[in-house]
Amino acid sequence: MEENQVFSGKTVEEAVAEGLKVLGVTREEVNVEVLEEGRKKLFGSVPAQVKLTLIPKQSDGERAVAFLEGLFELLDVDAVPTLREEDERIVVDLTTEESGKGLIGRRGEMIDAIQTLAGAVANMGRRDYKRVVVDCGNYREDREETLRHVAEKLAAKAVRLGKKVRLEPMNPYERRIIHSALMDNPDVTTRSEGKEPARFVVIIPNNLKPYEKRDRYGKPSGRYGDRKGGKDGRYGERKNDRYGERKPYPKRELPAEGTPQSSGTSLSRGGSGYKKGGFSGFFGTYLGNSRDSEPAATEEPQTPDEPATTDEE
């Protein structure tokens, strides 16, 4: 099939439609060059003519590189993407005259974002996803070596303590490195937890100890704290190491009626307590005066057996 063919029709649209039908392609796969727009003459008419040129198809990697070139031009970034590999995975190298830290970003956040966009463009129209790696200054290889070293170190720590160890959130590419680094380790297993973009890897030792709740001082604490068992073994006497054992508060006896200590009270011996607004009278130590030291003069009550005397007798 020839790449450049000329087709004709009454109008430009009819000529293009005829050419697409003959070539068996879509409008996006060809470049259209109009040779004659077509016109009517006094006698008859001149048909329209167009030349269709097939656009060379780009591979997935080439399409990703073309996208990155346009992206860097819009961002005014001085970087050149180059396709290094396109077999099992697509690898694109970024070359820049600067140090490359601006393209990599803090903890690789910038280059990971560029890699995500390039992967989406490269896999357009594909049924099976093809992995895309964007590298700059051998950053990926150095980062992979660092992650493997960290994974082995934290796995040893998890086995030594008998506890789970959680790593910082990572992207799917870095999480796969952790999983593959500890895949053959017989002492630990790994799994991913959380939700994107804060998904992380947890290293679980095979000698995992059961969870034991401890207080702020590092001592084991049960559901109700450190208590001695009572009758039912649940709410017994509470142990207090800080203030010692509690002593019972001494019960104070009420003063006898008619004494100075009971003066000013509104306590009713036969009632159910103090009256509202009364003075309790049990405040501090009773302080009397010189008059209070002598007994008060009282009238002798008459007994019912002795009749009262009068002046008439």
pLDDT in tens, 271-280: 444 444 554 4
Any idea which architecture 60-137 has in CATH?
2-Layer Sandwich (3.30)
Q: Which token pair is 13?
A: 């649209």
Structurally, at CATH architecture level, domain 141-205 sits in 2-Layer Sandwich (3.30)
CA–chain centroid gap for 9, Å, is: 64
| C-alpha closest to that of 175 among 142, 206, 197 | 197
Res 281 pLDDT > 70: no
Q: Which of 160-174, 208-222, 240-254 has the lowest mean pLDDT?
A: 240-254
Rounded CA-CA distance 225/219 in Å is 10
E-state strands within the chain: 4-9, 30-36, 39-40, 45-46, 48-54, 80-86, 90-95, 132-136, 165-166, 188-193, 200-205
Structure tokens at 64: 């990703």
Least trusted range by pLDDT, from 38-42, 142-146, 170-174: 38-42
Q: Which of 40, 22, 41, 38 is nearest to 30 (CA)?
A: 22
pLDDT at 138 over 60: yes
CA 89 from centre of chain = 32
Helix (H, G, I), strand (E, B) or coil at 65: helix
Unique residue bearing structure tokens 């390039």: 118
pLDDT at 45 (0 to 100): 77
- For 9, the 3-state DSSP assignment is strand
Give percent of the chain with pLDDT exceeding 90.
Answer: 32
Cα separation of 176 and 124, whole Å? 23
Q: Is residue 110's pLDDT more than 80?
A: yes
74, two tokens: 């819009």
pTM summary value: 0.52
Q: Is the pLDDT of residue 283 over 60?
A: no
Cα four-point dihedral sign 118, 121, 122, 126: positive
Rounded Cα gap, residues 213 and 294, in angstroms: 69
85 vs 45: which has the higher pLDDT: 85
- State the Cα–Cα distance between residues 217 and 283, nearest whole angstrom: 43
